[in-house]
Amino acid sequence: MTKLTRRTTIKAAAASAIAAPMIIRPYAAYAQRAERLVYWHLPMFTPLADQAAQDLFDEYLELAGVKPEEAAFITVNNADLIPKLSAGLETGSPPDAARLYESYVQLYRAQGHMMDVTDMVEDMKAEEGGLFESSLRAVAKDGSYWGVPFAINPWPMHARNDILQQAGLAYPATWDEFIETCKTIQQPPFYGFGMDLGLTADATDNIMQLLWCYGGYTTDDDGNVAFDNPGNVEGFKVIDRMYNEHKIIPKGVVGNADTAWNNKAFQSGQVAFINNPTSVYAYLLDKDPEMAANTGLYSVPAGPAGSVNQIDTWSTGLFRQAPEPELVRGWVAYLMDPANYSKMLLQTNGRFVPVYPKQFDDEWWTSRPEYSEFRKIAETGVPVSYKGAPSAASGEVLATHIIPAAVQSMIIDGVAAEDAVAAAHVKIKDVYERLGDG
């Protein structure tokens, strides 16, 4: 056997240096993506809905003359979407289209990744009954559309109807009544309101829904930060009373960093009300039909400014890096064709509200009184960034928990509502100034 000497080592190193590019070069030829169409699908809560989306994809491939091996329908779970997408965009290999939540369309538009799909959205608007205006806020910018509205995600109040009935009470019409109802029915450790006040995404949503009812908002009509307003101050005071005076919110919620705690609290029967997307209800329908039958979905109680409900939206983003833009545009148009779309969306069992108002005429919706308020919520609902449209800045305000932190400073540290709101205003303004257009 040859001895390993300095000379042989150097020879081997030199040989490797020469051979390496020859080995890598053939691989480089494969770097050109094999698929003509790549779509990232996010799970839609029911396997039937996921299968329906996959079936539509397969149908489209056949219509477009694309072989199955030339396309990829990839299911990416919610938690993995953004890290995967960030890496894909950074390396120039994003999917051709993916379902994006709320502000991400604007974030990626500002970074130059989104395709202008104005013509596609105009075609959808031209369908009978058009589109819900609320579904367009997240995708519109300067008269153009940068994403295709996919579905509306309402945030109704989930209420335990059985508990209300036992107490001889109806669903409260105002926040004042809501507080009294909670005080009547709660028996700690069973609490009235599972309001999220931790440093979580849901907390901002829960807080803002209440503030809007008292006339509050984050930005004014022109998109300027205007968080320091009387409505927000009044709303903060109501939350303070709910937490410290009436004690209808469990004390432990402020230390919670788990955005799903309120889901679990409702699912396990520990609270009477939560304000959440209908993921909870979809879960109950599947795993706990008895509890689902005892659950009502309502608009939030009204304040002096009325009952202002939150919606957020999902949109399909088409990426400019797509090698065959017409192919991906064709796919998304096929998916959003009202007949195809309805077939898929109804399989979600009410989890998502259609972007086409006309589809509420479907017997599926009209025969289910539990969803009776959804159309109104979809028509009048506002995004968490209200009065402004969702943007990268509103996304960062949500992600950095500025608003829940301000509420915590009031309910735990005793900071005056006015000061807590003013402090949050400064921080939010800083974020909007920093992120600008995005």
Partner 1 sequence: MIKTIEGQDRLWRWIGNAVLVVLVAWTLLPFYWMFATSLKKHKEIYGMGTTLWPRDPTLESYRILFFETDYMLFFANSMKTAMSTTAVTVVVASLAAYAIARLDFPGRSLIARGMVYTYLVPQSLLFIPLFTILVAVGLDNSLTGLSIAYMGFTIPFCTWLLMGYFMSIPVELEEAALVDGCSRLGVLVRIILPISLPALAVIAFFSFTLAWNEYLYAVVFNSNPSVRTIPTGLNDFITEDVFFWGPIMGSTVLTVIPPLIVYFIFQRWLVTGLTMGAVKG
Task: Annotate each residue in 267-306 with x if it binds partner 1 (CB under 8 A) or - if it does not, as one string.
Answer: xxxx-----xx-xx-xx---xx------------------
Minimum CB distance to partner 1, residue 43 (Å): 5
Give yes or no for residue 92 binding partner 1 (CB under 8 A).
yes
Parallel, antiparallel or unpaired: strands 295-298 and 311-318:
unpaired
Q: Starting at the edge strand that comes first in sequence, how are the strands of the sheet with 148-154 ordered?
A: 71-75, 37-41, 97-101, 311-318, 148-154
Binder of partner 1 out of 18, 22, 29, 339 (CB under 8 A): 29
Q: Judged by CB under 8 A, does residue 69 bind partner 1?
A: no
Asked if residue 14 binds partner 1 (CB under 8 A), the reply is: no
Binding-site string for partner 1 from residue 176 to residue 205, where x marks contact by CB under 8 A and - marks none: --------------------------x---
What's the angle, vertex CA 70, arms to CA 69 and CA 72, rounded to 5? 80
| Member of 21, 22, 67, 90 binding partner 1 (CB under 8 A) | 90
State the minimum distance, in angstroms, from the CB of residue 287 to partner 1: 4
Q: What are phi and psi of 336, to 5 degrees?
A: -90, 5
CB of 329 to partner 1, least distance (A): 22
Query: Cα–Cα distance between 236 and 421 in angstroms, integer?
Result: 8
List of residues 6+ apart from 347 with CB closer than 8 A: 44, 46, 48, 49, 51, 52
Q: How would DSSP label each residue in 231-256?
A: HHHHHHHHHHIIIIIS--S-GGGGG-
Q: How far apart are CA 243 and CA 252, in angstroms?
A: 11
Contact pick of 11, 183, 264, 320 for partner 1 (by CB under 8 A): 264
User: Which of residues 259, 342, 380, 409 is near partner 1 by CB under 8 A?
Assistant: 259
Sheet strands (E) in 191-319? 191-193, 271-275, 295-298, 311-318
When the beta carbons of 171 and 283 are compared against partner 1, the nearer one is: 283
| 165 lies in the binding site for partner 1 (CB under 8 A) | no
Q: Which is nearer to partner 1, 17 or 24 (CB)?
A: 24
Q: Is 79 in the site for partner 1 (CB under 8 A)?
A: yes
> Contact, 414 vs 240, CB < 8 A?
no
d(CA 199, CA 219): 21
Both structure tokens of 381 = 């609902």
Task: Summarize as ranges the residues that interact with partner 1 (CB under 8 A).
Answer: 1-4, 6, 9-10, 24, 27-31, 40, 43, 45, 47, 72, 74-80, 83-84, 87, 90-93, 202, 259-260, 263-264, 267-270, 276-277, 279-280, 282-283, 287-288
